[in-house]
Structure 1
Amino acid sequence: MPELPEVEALRSFLAGELAGHEIVRVLPVAVSVLKTYDPPVTALEGRAVTAVARYGKFLAVDADGLWLVTHLARAGWLRWQDPLPSGAPRPGRGPLALRVAVETGAGFDLTEAGTQKRLAVYVTHAPRALPGIARLGPDPLADDFTEERLGKLLAGEHRQLKGALRDQSLIAGIGNAYSDEILHAARMSPFKPAGRLTGEETARLYAALRGTLADAVERARGLAAARLKAEKKAGMRVHGRAGEACPVCGDTIREVSFADSSLQYCPTCQTGGKVLADRRLSRLLK
């Protein structure tokens, strides 16, 4: 799933490729992709792109005041092509969900793999009015996201840290992969109660959160869209690396599997050497 660093890299990449160019065609291919109908996607045609923005994991293209907003969900991606293939794409064939073309002949496809179709596209005059964006918490890389603010957000939380970090209404942009990476860098168990952090632990989590995301954004800076997935995977220290050696201590990275996801962690670095039970309601084994 694309998270804050990848979406920020896509924003930067698209801003460089699209700024000043006119959108000449928007072609929805998958019926399920469009979540709004007024204004229609055809209203974007003939407008020049003036900016590209990011809201958490949402990517938004500003076409002279009318916005094309997308959330790539778990299996969605953006593929830039120069030139785009000629001819209209066929609905129901492959992962293609929506195609956007500019006057140069270039453009991008939104694609989605798998059978669960959750990729979403909106056309709106006000991105912040969309329910998914309106509910977002603060951006963790914003200048006003301070250690004190993080502490206030977590105070009184009854959830475990892993779940709290992934809650988009609490902090925007962090998903399954980077929550694993942040907790490893902070040397904290994913099941530690979020509302019980000491001042020292809050400071450590804040430094890990900002550092992990900023480093990932910097690694992705300037990369073409096609290279971002590989860069994300290469930069992971624990996520997706169950059975490998922890790069910090050498212990074996472990995994906890849930119904539709999993997390990875290092027992030595994060749980005092204890192994987490691999079940949905996991607790530390005694």
Structure 2
Amino acid sequence: MPEMPEVDALVADLRARMVGAVVAGVEPASFAVLKTFDPPPDALLGLTVTGLHRHGKFIDIDVDGLHLVVHLAKAGWIRWSDDLAPKRVKMGPGPIALRVRLDHGDGPTIGFDLTEAGTRKGLAVYVVRDPADVPGIAALGPDPLADGFELRPLLERRMQVKRLLRDQKILAGIGNAYSDEILHAAKLSPFAIAESLDDGEVTRLEAAIHDVLTQALEEAHGKPPTELKDDKRTRMRVHGRAGEACPVCGDTVAEVVFADSSLQYCPTCQTGGTPLKDRSTSKFVK
């Protein structure tokens, strides 16, 4: 799933390409992708793209005061083209969910396709007058890299710290991959209880959030969108590395698998050498 660093880099790339262009076409290829009906997508036609912003993991395209908001979900992405085919995209079960045509003054030949791999569809598109009209944006917690961010008040919850980091209503922008990386850097068990962390653990966690995300942002920016996902994978130290050696201590990276996701961690660095077998037996390991 694209997370804050990749979405932020993608927004920066699209901003350079899109601002000043006129929307010449909005072509849904999936009935399910559009989550709003007023204003209709055609309300964007003829309007100019004036800005692009990121809210958590949401992409916000400002079109003369209307907003085309995209959430890429688990397998969505934006595929830019400098030479779109003139034929309108068709409704169907293929990977393209939506096509947007733009015109910088020389015809509607540029634009992008919103694509989604796999059969589980979660990609979501909204056309709204205010980004806060999107429920997911309205409910977002603070951005962990925003000025004045304070972690400690957010930890006053009896919930596993891994779950807390991923909860967009508590913290905006962190997903499964970077939460694994942050907890490894902070030397914390994924199942440690947030409200039980001591001062030293809170300090380590706060520093890890800042350092991991800042470094990821720096490395993602400037890369072509086509390379962002693969680049993210190469930078992971424990996430997606089950069975490999921990780059810090050399122990074997372990994994806990759930029904629809998994997490990776280093037993030596994070759990005092104790393996986390599953949610029911490992939740007591702090």
Does TM-score exceed 0.5, indicating one fold? yes
Query: 2:140 maps to what in 1?
Result: 136
Give the drift of 1:93: 4.5
Query: 2:231 maps to what in 1?
Result: 231
- CA deviations on 1:27-82 (whole Å, 9 max, x unpaired) are 01011000000101011111111100010010010011010001011111111111
Query: Compared with structure 1, are the counterparts of its residues 48 and 280 closer, same or farther at alpha carbon in structure 2 (3 Å cutoff)?
Result: farther
Query: One-letter code of the match for 1:129?
Result: D
Query: One-letter code of the match for 1:111?
Result: T
Query: 1:66 maps to what in 2?
Result: 66
**Aligned mates of 1:283, 1:143 — CA distance in 2:** 33
Give the drift of 1:222: 1.1
Give the drift of 1:283: 3.6
Query: 1:119 maps to what in 2?
Result: 123
Identity %, equivalent residues: 57
**Aligned mates of 1:280, 1:24 — CA distance in 2:** 53
Summarize the alignment of residues 30-109 of structure 1 with structure 2, pairs less than 5 Å apart: 30-104=30-104, 105-109=109-113
**Aligned mates of 1:93, 1:71 — CA distance in 2:** 19
Mapped contact 1:275–1:284 kept (Cα < 8 A): no
Query: 1:11 maps to what in 2?
Result: 11
**Aligned mates of 1:261, 1:101 — CA distance in 2:** 35
**Aligned mates of 1:224, 1:128 — CA distance in 2:** 29
Give the drift of 1:281: 5.8
> What's the TM-score, normalizing by structure 1?
0.95
> What's the TM-score, normalizing by structure 2?
0.95
Mapped contact 1:23–1:44 kept (Cα < 8 A): yes
**Structure 1 gap segments, 5+ residues each:** none
Which runs of at least 4 in structure 1 moved beyond 4 Å after TM superposition?
none
Query: Compared with structure 1, are the counterparts of its residues 231 and 118 closer, same or farther at alpha carbon in structure 2 (3 Å cutoff)?
Result: same
Give the drift of 1:284: 5.9
